[in-house]
Structure 1
């Protein structure tokens, strides 16, 4: 697994313009939100508890970010949780 510094270094080579940064700042969360809406429709019964695909995705993603950096993991956990909470009612429609 690459370190956070290696990943950010490679990312920085291709994403330097203000337009690109702004596009990513808006576009990536929207893409993740849409994916969470779709994944939340996948219901997985585990005994008396039902989890969904979006919860599994968020858990795996947050674990990954925590492995890179504690502070990044915390920030991403907050962002992913907010997106997940917003996606749940939409998926229930």
Structure 2
């Protein structure tokens, strides 16, 4: 099995949710325990990606982590949504 391009997967999942799809950027970084993907969207779209009480963000994280092949990707996948308010 081949390794999944998680950046492309995240962009594909987020594009239908936002009003400014051209503002979507995904940055990958490795930590000791995780392979983190930092999602940046337009400031006006952050609420759409997070959802009420974080339900959309939780669903996105579940899908992205579920796509990981545990045999190929030893590190867990972590999706970080950059909230421009903080």
Using the size of structure 1 for normalisation, the TM-score is 0.31
| Structure ID, larger Rg | 1
Between Structure 1 and Structure 2, the one with more strand by share is: 2
Between Structure 1 and Structure 2, the one with more helix by share is: 1
